Structure 1
Amino acid sequence: MRDPFPAFRADRRPAVFLDRDGVLNEDFGYVGKVERVVMMPGAAAAVRRINAAGHFVFVVTNQSGIARGLYSEADYFAVRGHIHALLAGQGARIDAERYCPFHPEGTLDAFRHDSPWRKPRPGMITDLMASFPVDPKRSFLIGDKASDVEAAAAAGICGHLFPGGDLDAFLRPLLPP
């Protein structure tokens, strides 16, 4: 098995992993339609701040609404594109995103299983760390649920529980000046 964290890479950068619903956008429960997207206050400013610091910005999001048949993968990609476009329109950039459409109690057979990518498991985070030159010692996750913070710990990075409100104000003390 390949070591996902090689001992030395000169190009390593810290990463900030963000949950989507409840961190970047309001969580109204199963946000699977563009019309339901309401960005969190300070979301674009927070992502711009991370970009300016030279950190990777990654989104890691459970999307069990797909497994439950509440919306399709095409709907998920439409919402994802809409959020990325809203952020880009304000000068903010997401570097990559991973999603987990699986749930062991899903109603759709194709998505009914227990995936290692489903938080609180770390699969989405470790996949991104293996795909990009991430410095895990200087990386962290912001999530709105205990399962997000548990996934961060399982991946060997720090996790912070976002209580809602202004994401940029929450992020500011977490990034070095």
Structure 2
Amino acid sequence: MFLDRDGTLTQPRHYPSHPDQLVLQPGICTPLRALQERGFALVVVTNQSGLARGLFDLAALDTMHRRLRYLLHRQGVRLDGIYACPHHPRAVVRQYRRICPCRKPSPGMLHSAAHDLGLDVTRSWMIGDSACDIVAGRRAGTRTVLVGHGSTGNAQHPVTTARALRHVLHAVPDTPATGPAR
């Protein structure tokens, strides 16, 4: 299960740069635990252009992701991986200024995670709140769920939609109950 971070796992914030700004969406831990019990790996794939914009550094991002892991772990949820793309074509920070294959809507982060963790993308889902999440999932070969009131714009339509991550189990009734999606 590939999960977007901002607006999907956490409440939407404009370029969060401090761990206290990461607040879990209400009610997400129960469905995440259920997905884990069904054998799905939980992997965060997140564009973090705040690095490229000079709004925070890698140390701050690492601290934010330790906080995210802590908040989820307190609720019995374990993340199998966090993949973040710091790049942006118009970056202020020169080392991050480029077009790269990891920045969603490109599928690079999903492919890297699948390779690193031995995941089968054809049995996986990409869950996110924006068109770039849906397109990245489609390009990687996953099924997709659009959560919230995000727009797919001109993107390929998601397999299904859900009002919020906590409703995903109801939106994806055919998620395999046995056998890991690895």
TM-score between both structures, scaled by the size of structure 2 = 0.84
What letter corresponds to residue 117 of structure 1 in structure 2?
Answer: C
- Of 125, 133, 137, which aligns to 1:148? 133
Q: Which residue of 2 aligns with 1:28?
A: 13
CA contact (8 A) 1:106 1:112 kept: yes
The CA distance in 1 between the partners of 2:96 and 2:121, in whole Å, is 30
Render the CA deviation track for 1:119-153: whole Å, top value 9, x for unaligned.
00000001111112222222111001000000011
Q: Which residue of 1 aligns with 2:167?
A: 169
CA drift of 1:117 comes to 0.2
* Structure 1 consecutive aligned stretches of length 4 or more whose deviation exceeds 4 Å: none
Where do 5+ consecutive residues of structure 2 fail to align?
Answer: 150-162, 178-182
> Which has the larger displacement, 99-108 or 37-46?
37-46
Where do 5+ consecutive residues of structure 1 fail to align?
Answer: 1-15
How many residues align? The count is 162
CA drift of 1:169 comes to 1.9
What is the percentage of aligned positions where both structures have the same residue?
A: 36
Render the CA deviation track for 1:136-176: whole Å, top value 9, x for unaligned.
22211100100000001111111111116542223343234
TM-score between both structures, scaled by the size of structure 1 = 0.86
TM-align CA RMSD: 1.4
- Of 114, 120, 135, which aligns to 2:120? 135
Of structures 1 and 2, the one with the larger relative CO (CA 8 A, separation 6+) is 1
Render the CA deviation track for 1:10-56: whole Å, top value 9, x for unaligned.
xxxxxx10000011101111112112111101222222111111111
